[in-house]
Amino acid sequence: MITKKKIISLAVIAQCLICGLVSCGTLGGIGYGIYFPISKKKLEIAMDSLYMKHPEYKIPKDWGKFNNWSERGYDFLESKIFYFKSSPEEMYYVTFIGDSTALASTTKIGIGIRALNKGSYKWLLNDDLDSKEKERIEKRFDDEIISKLEEYTKTKALKK
C-alpha cells in the first residue's frame, strides 16, 4: 500500500531528478545568460539596492496580479521581476541560473530573462518572440538593469 508520505517523497525525488537533468531550464531563456564574477548573495544585495534606488522597477500594484509564477508551479525557481513603465510597458521574469552547486558558488552567478509580460495574464516565452523583439528586450535589460548591477557590484558581467 502506498501512503501519502511515500507519494510525496517520490514526487520530491522525481522533481530533483528532473531538475538535475534539465537544470530547471524548462522555461528556456530570452537572450543570453548573464554571469557576474561574485556570489549569489552579493548579487542579491545589488538587486535590493537597485530596487531601493530605483523603485520604478518594482511591480506596481495593478500589475501584481500577473505575478502568478507560484500558481503555475515555478515557485521552486529563485526569481525577480523587473517592471518597465516607459514604452513599451512590460515586465521581465528573471531567474538565477544553475543547480544548487552553481547557486552556492562564491565566484560566479548567472541570471537570465525567462519570460516577458505586456500587461496580461499571458507570459511570453522565447518561442513567442521574433529575433528583433528579443534583441530589444536584451538591450533594454542590459541598459537599464545590468549596467546598474555592474555599477553596484563593481564588476563586469559576461554574456554566455
Query: What is the residue extent of each domain of the chain?
Result: 26-159
Question: For residue 75, what pLDDT is reported?
Answer: 67
| Mean pLDDT across the chain | 85
E strand or H helix at 149, and its extent?
helix 147-153
3-state secondary structure 107-147: CCEEEEEEEEECCCCCEECHHHCCHHHHHHHHHHHHHHHHH
3-state secondary structure 24-75: CCCCCCEEEEEEECCCHHHHHHHHHHHHHHCHHHCCCHHHHHHCCCCCCCCC
Unique residue bearing C-alpha cell 523587473: 82
Phi, psi for 94 (deg, rounded to 5): -120, 130
Give the CA count within 13 Å in the CB-facing half-sphere of 60.
Answer: 10
* Domain 26-159 indexed as CATH 3.30.530: yes
Question: For residue 21, what pLDDT is reported?
Answer: 32
R_g over Cα of the chain: 17
Averaged over successive runs of 10 residues, the pLDDT of the chain (160 residues) comes to 51 42 58 95 97 97 87 76 97 92 90 96 95 97 98 96
